[in-house]
């Protein structure tokens, strides 16, 4: 029997420049949503309904510092949905996974590859059948996530990308957690050739990351505590009812 077609949507939250991804099995209509944003829960819920998809899992690539996760909202809107997070992130979720765990939804699956360095729990989700991977903040297009807060470790990030992402076939499409330049997708080959940070050797990379001099994330003090408890305290049941009937 031939493998089912993958339903795929890439969505953007303009405020945080966060990408959210919907992946669905065309045969069974089962779906996964990667990196939901709390303020976009209504958008995501209604799009899932329009696409006739049954959301099984709401997955976070890591404990975010720039926005509050939408997993709490999606679980309230869709009671059958379960939240998913890496065990080493030390946060709450319905499913806590280790390296190599497989998330299955119908005929489709995602391999969970731990890629720490930006945070301890950073994970890249790999769909081998369709040659695509979702890198979160571990690898951005021509860049990478910062390593100066929240368990950041530049040496570890360099190893993660080179051992878990750059070892994928060169034609794999890579979808990041954010983009600030208007890009949407890259490939393994492109990043191995053109990533201005990760094409350097490890020592040079570490020096680059130590000297970025970036501003303190505006929402980190609110976002991280909320995300460690699955975003559940942010949910307003009256708004959940409005979204369902809106």
- 71-103 pLDDT, tens digit per residue, is 999 999 999 999 999 999 999 999 999 999 999
pLDDT above 70 (res 1): no
Give pLDDT, residue 173.
98
pLDDT above 60 (res 143): yes
Q: In CATH, what number does 6-239 get?
A: 3.60.15.10
Enumerate residues 6+ apart whose C-beta is below 8 A from 244: 45, 77
Task: Specify the DSSP class assigned to residue 163.
Answer: I
pLDDT above 70 (res 21): yes
| Percent of the chain residues topping a pLDDT of 70 | 99
Give pLDDT, residue 217.
86
Domain ranges for the chain, please list them: 6-239
Across 51-55, 154-158, 190-194, 215-219, least confident range: 215-219
pLDDT above 60 (res 197): yes
Q: What is the mean predicted confidence (pLDDT) over 169-191?
A: 97
Give pLDDT, residue 4.
76
Strand 123-127 to 108-114 pairing: antiparallel
Q: How confident is the model at residue 56 (pLDDT cuts 50, 70, 90)?
A: very high
State the Cα angle at 129 between 59 and 137, rounded to 5°.
40
Q: What is the mean predicted confidence (pLDDT) over 102-109?
A: 98
Q: What is the mean predicted confidence (pLDDT) over 220-244?
A: 93
* Distance in angstroms (rounded) separating the CA atoms of residues 156 and 61: 17
pLDDT above 60 (res 2): no
Enumerate residues 6+ apart whose C-beta is below 8 A from 124: 61, 113, 115, 133, 134, 135, 136, 138, 139, 164, 165
- CA distances 38 to 19, 101, 160, 208, 212, Å, are 13, 26, 28, 33, 29
| Percent of the chain residues topping a pLDDT of 90 | 93
Neighbours of 182 (CB within 10 A): 7
pLDDT above 50 (res 48): yes
Mean pLDDT computed over every residue of the chain: 96
Q: For residues 82-106, b (16+ Cβ closer than 10 Å) or e, as one string?
A: bbbbbebbebbbeebbeeebebebb
Q: What is the mean predicted confidence (pLDDT) over 238-243?
A: 94
Give pLDDT, residue 78.
97
């Amino acid at each position: 029997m031939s493998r089912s077609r993958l339903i795929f949507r890439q969505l953007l939250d303009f405020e945080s420049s966060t990408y959210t991804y919907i992946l669905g099995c065309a045969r069974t209509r089962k779906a996964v949503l990667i990196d939901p944003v709390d303020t976009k829960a209504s958008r995501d819920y209604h799009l899932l309904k329009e696409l006739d998809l049954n959301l099984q899992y709401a997955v976070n690539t890591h404990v975010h510092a720039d926005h509050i996760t939408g997993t709490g909202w999606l679980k309230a809107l869709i009671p059958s949905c379960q939240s998913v997070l890496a065990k080493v992130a030390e946060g709450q979720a319905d499913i806590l996974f280790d390296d190599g765990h497989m998330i299955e939804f119908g005929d489709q699956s995602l391999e969970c590859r731990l890629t720490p360095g930006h945070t301890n729990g950073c994970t890249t989700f790999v769909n081998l059948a369709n040659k695509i991977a979702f890198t979160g903040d571990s690898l951005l297009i021509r860049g990478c996530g910062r390593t100066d807060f929240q368990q950041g470790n530049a040496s570890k990030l360099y190893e993660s990308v080179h051992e878990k992402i750059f070892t994928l076939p060169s034609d794999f499409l890579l979808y990041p957690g954010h983009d600030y330049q208007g890009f949407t997708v890259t490939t393994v080959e492109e990043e191995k050739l053109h990533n201005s940070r990760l094409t350097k050797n490890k020592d040079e990379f570490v020096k680059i990351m130590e000297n970025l001099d970036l501003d303190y994330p505006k929402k980190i003090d609110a976002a991280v505590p909320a995300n460690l408890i699955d975003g559940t305290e942010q949910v307003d049941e009256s708004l959940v009812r409005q979204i369902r009937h809106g």
